[in-house]
Chain A
Amino acid sequence: MDSRYDIAIVGSGPAGLSAAVNARVRNKNIILFGNAEFSEKLIKAPKIKNYLGLPDITGLQLKDKFENHIKSMNINITLERINEIYAMGEYFGLMVNQKMYEAKAIVLATGIEYTKPLRGEEELLGKGVGYCATCDAPLYKGKVVTIIGYNKEAEREANYVNELVKKVYYIPMYRDKPNLDDNIEIVEDKVLEIYGKERVEKVILENKQIDTDGVFVLKDSISPAQLVPGIAMESNHVKVDANMNTNIPGCFAAGDCVGRPYQYMKAVGQGQTAALNAVSYLDKQ
C-alpha cells in the first residue's frame, strides 16, 4: 500500500488539473487520477472562444498547454479509474480493483457523462441489482445472473461470475462482439426494463424476457453517489457550498460534476477553490 497522500484528486479534466496545480503550489503531497488524454471533452472541443487569454484555441491545443503546465510542476497523472471511495473519518480509502490508496482529503472532479439509469435500475438497487459483480457474485451461487455490460471490461467480470453461479446471460451495450466463456449466453437485444416487485425477477428486452435472480449493470462512468457512498446529491450533481465542500468533511468537488454551466473557466476556478479549501482543511487537522 502507498503512503497516505494529503489530497487525492479524482479526474483529470480542467477542474482536476487546476486543483492539482494549486495543491502542488501549496506543497501538498498529491495524487491525481485520470487518463492520458486528460478529458474527452477537452480534446473534442473544435474551437474555444471563452477561455480568457487564449482566444480561438482548439481543445487539443489547450490540452497541450495544460500538459506543459503540469509537466513543469512535475505533476503526473496516475492512469487509474477509481471504483469506490470510502470516507473512513480520519482518511479516505480509494479503491482501484483490489488496490487501495489512502488520502486525508479528496477533490472530486469527475465531470458529467453518466449514462442514464435503465428503467427499474435504481428502484431495484440492492434488491438484485448491483454494480460490482465481483463483490456480490458469491451471493448468487446456484442462481441466474444477467450482466448488462457497457464496455469490454465487463466481459472479464462476466467470466468471473460465470465460475460462481448457475447461469450467466450477457447483454452487450456496445457494438463489438463480446469475447466470453462458451457457456455464457449472449443476448443482443435492447433492454427496456429491469422488472421485479420485491426484488429482481426479470429483464425485459424488446424481443424477449429473461428470468433472472440478479442483474449487474457494469458501466464506464459511475455517478458520484455510487463512487462516494453517502455523498449528498442535488438531482444528478454533487451538492456543494461556495467553498466546494460536500456534505462529507474533507471531501470537495469541482467542475461539471457539481452543476451548470458546463464550462472550462468555471471548472478551473472551482478546482482552485476546492484545492485551496482542501489545503486549509488539512492545515486545521
Chain B
Amino acid sequence: MVEEIKDANFSNSIKDSDTPVVVDFWASWCGPCKMLSPVIEEVSDELQGKAKFFKLNVDENPVTAAQFKIASIPTVMVFKDGSMVDKFVGFRPKDTIKDVLGKHI
C-alpha cells in the first residue's frame, strides 16, 4: 500500500522507520506520474513489510518538494535512517524499480 504523506509529517515518517522508506513525488497534471503510480502500488504489495511506501503531491507540499529540489516528476527517493540513499527520475518498469530497491532492503 502507498500512503499519502504531507509536509507536516514528512520528516517524522521517513525517520521513524526500521525499513527503507520509498517516496514517490508526483502531481495531478503529470502524465508519467499517473502511469508510475499503479506500478509503485504493485511493487509496494510485493515488498510488503520490507519497505514503506509513500507518495507526496508536490503542488500541495511545496516545502518538501523544495527541500529535495524536485526538478522533474515523477521522482522516486529511497530513504534509510532519515537520509536519502537513492533516487530515480521518470517512469520505470516494475522490475527496474525492484532492482533499485533490492539494493537497500
Contact = CB atoms under 8 A, between A and B. Distances in A.
A136 B73 CA distance: 7
Contacts of B42: 89
B30 A127 contact: no
A16 interface: no
B90 A86 contact: no
A125 interface: yes
B75 A126 contact: yes
A95 B91 CA distance: 12
Given A135-B32, A138-B29, A139-B58, A84 B91 contact: yes
B92 to A, nearest CB: 5
A233 to B, nearest CB: 13
B22 to A, nearest CB: 16
A239 to B, nearest CB: 14
A108 to B, nearest CB: 14
Interface stretch (B1-9, B10-18, B47-55, B64-72): B64-72
Given A89-B39, A95-B31, A130 B72 contact: yes
Contacts of B38: 88
Given A84-B32, A230-B96, A248-B93, A138 B71 contact: no
Interface string B83-99: 00000011111111000
Contacts of A214: 71
B70 A139 contact: yes
A230 B39 CA distance: 13
Contacts of B32: 84, 86, 135
A126 B69 contact: no
A89 B94 contact: yes
Nearest to B69: A199
A266 B92 CA distance: 30
A41 to B, nearest CB: 29
Contacts of B63: none
A95 B36 CA distance: 13
Given A136-B71, A199-B71, A126 B35 contact: no
Contacts of A126: 71-72, 75, 89-90
Contacts of B95: 230, 248
A128 B69 CA distance: 9
Interface string A126-153: 1110100001101100000000000000
Nearest to B89: A126
A229 interface: yes
Q: Which 9 pairs show the lowest CB-CB distances between chains A and B? A: A126-B89, A87-B93, A230-B96, A86-B35, A230-B93, A229-B91, A230-B92, A126-B72, A128-B71
16 contacts: A86-B32, A86-B91, A88-B35, A89-B42, A98-B31, A126-B89, A130-B71, A135-B73, A138-B29, A139-B65, A139-B73, A199-B71, A229-B91, A230-B91, A230-B92, A230-B96
Interface of A: 84, 86-89, 93, 95, 98, 125-128, 130, 135-136, 138-139, 198-200, 214, 229-230, 248
Interface of B: 27, 29-32, 35-36, 38-39, 42, 58-59, 65, 69-73, 75, 89-96
